[in-house]
Amino acid sequence: MKRNFRIMQGLTSAPDDLAMITKHRILELLDYVKDPEIPVINVLELGVVRSVEVEESGKAIITITPTYTGCPAMDVMAADIKKELLEAGVPEVEVKLTLSPAWTTDWITDEGKRKLKEYGIAPPEKSADIRALKGVQPVVQCPQCGSKNTVMLSLFGSTACKALWKCQDCLEPFDQFKCL
């Protein structure tokens, strides 16, 4: 359910309203901006929001980092961030893209990982590690039945940031968010 920022915060068109546009309020609004590829997780839980600044004019500057360079979802996320904040009464919104530092699955919140699992996507289990460089396949738990008797079918799943796996016990295929 969308929230009307002006109504919730009692904003009118007076200049004093700009004092109500705070970093805290912007972060609350970003809770409503979902990942277009995984609609159960928001941009904060995914860890793509790197910073939020609010200028005296009320302009919000949101800096985001893509999960992968060239991720097609980033344009949609940027547009959704702008739309959410503008509809909520923020007078001006700028979304900046930064590639440094590079995004890592370490930035996905615990709540985000829980939501991924409930949605049927195996969340990254550990911090990014050296196993991938050594060609060692990780043990991935099936988000459906919890079995660790799983096998990777493809290094690329429904998106570049996921791999396709199959559970050998319940026989269900599932995506796994790759550890990066």
Q: Per-residue pLDDT tens, the chain, 180 aa: give them.
A: 444 444 344 444 433 466 678 999 999 999 999 999 999 999 999 999 999 999 989 999 999 999 888 788 899 999 999 999 999 999 999 999 999 999 999 999 999 999 999 999 999 876 555 555 566 677 899 999 999 999 999 988 888 888 999 999 999 999 998 877
Rg of the chain taking only CA atoms, in angstroms:
19
Neighbours of 171 (CB within 10 A): 10
> Which contacts of 7-16 are long-range, i.e. CB under 8 A and separated by 24 or more positions?
9/89, 11/89
Q: Are 111 and 45 in contact (CB under 8 A)?
A: yes
pTM over 0.85: no
The pLDDT score that the predictor gives to residue 128 is 54
The pLDDT score that the predictor gives to residue 66 is 92
Q: Where are the domains of the chain?
A: 5-97, 107-177
Two structure tokens written together for 65: 């980092």
Instruction: Write the class of the CATH domain 5-97.
Output: alpha beta
The pLDDT score that the predictor gives to residue 126 is 66
DSSP category for residue 102: P
CA 122, distance to chain mean position in Å, is 15
DSSP category for residue 158: S
Cβ-in-10-Å burial (0-12, 13-18, 19+) of 133 comes to exposed
Helices 73-87 and 23-30 pack at an angle, to 10 degrees, of 120
The pLDDT score that the predictor gives to residue 134 is 66
The pLDDT score that the predictor gives to residue 109 is 96
Q: State pLDDT tens for residues 123-168.
A: 987 655 555 556 667 789 999 999 999 999 998 888 888 899 999 9
Rounded-to-integer distance, Cα 46 and Cα 175, Å: 16
